[in-house]
Amino acid sequence: MKIKVSSESLDALTYDSLAFGFFSDERPPRGYCGLADWRLNGLVSNLIAEGKVTGAFMEKVLITSDQRSASPNIFLMGLGESAQLTYEKLYTAGSTILQTMGEVECTNFAFDIPGAGRCDLEVPKMAVAVVSGVFESGTLNQEDAPSDIVVLSGRDCFDEIVLGMHEFKVGVKNKITVDIIDEAAPVRAI
């Protein structure tokens, strides 16, 4: 398995699906979800304003980008109130993301670490929680599971997320082989 930590712009992401976490108390959405909302001309904000989307924990929303993004599908995962975010909720989000991508037969996707740098949780541990949820969901044992995991990060948290991926790698060293690709140093595989 390869884990790529990427700070690519939303317009450069060419995966079949993008998965972003969002909170019930962030209006408008922030992070990659906020960028997707902007790119979709406020579609997410409009769905929230209409009460069709709330951001409640475990709420799942699949949106087609209608060619406003290079990735045709955007999956939103509700995480509840940002002040109540825990490592356990992030773990559950990671597991749910992979299960949902499997249900829609998508193995080429990227996801963010929701709330990274905007809450009291440690960013490396947040990254470990989400990726552990993806890894341990059980879906990775299937033939169609992704061989590459792409974790999206803004430049402000990039190094901390890479550190978290190294911690994850140490934790699973006897279970799988993990190569971490640090986009900031593309010639170096760790």
Q: How many domains does the chain have?
A: 1
pLDDT by position in tens, the chain (length 190): 678 898 888 888 888 899 999 999 999 999 999 999 998 999 999 999 999 999 999 999 999 877 777 788 899 999 999 999 999 999 999 999 989 988 888 878 999 999 998 999 999 999 999 999 988 875 555 555 566 789 999 889 999 999 999 899 888 886 766 777 766 554 334 4
**Residue 187 forms part of a structural domain:** no
CATH number of 96's domain: 3.40.220.10
| Owner of token pair 């949820």 | 133
Q: What is the pLDDT of residue 128?
A: 96
- Cα–Cα nearest to 21, from 59, 73, 50, 51: 59
Q: What pTM, to 2 d.p., does this model score? A: 0.87
* Helix locations, 4-108, DSSP H: 31-39, 43-49, 87-103
- Token representation of residue 93: 């989000």
Q: For position 89, what pLDDT does the model report?
A: 97
Whether 120 is covered by a domain: the verdict is yes
Q: Which domain holds residue 153?
A: 2-182
Residue 63 identity: I
Any domain includes 190: no
189 part of a folded domain: no
3-state secondary structure of 75: strand
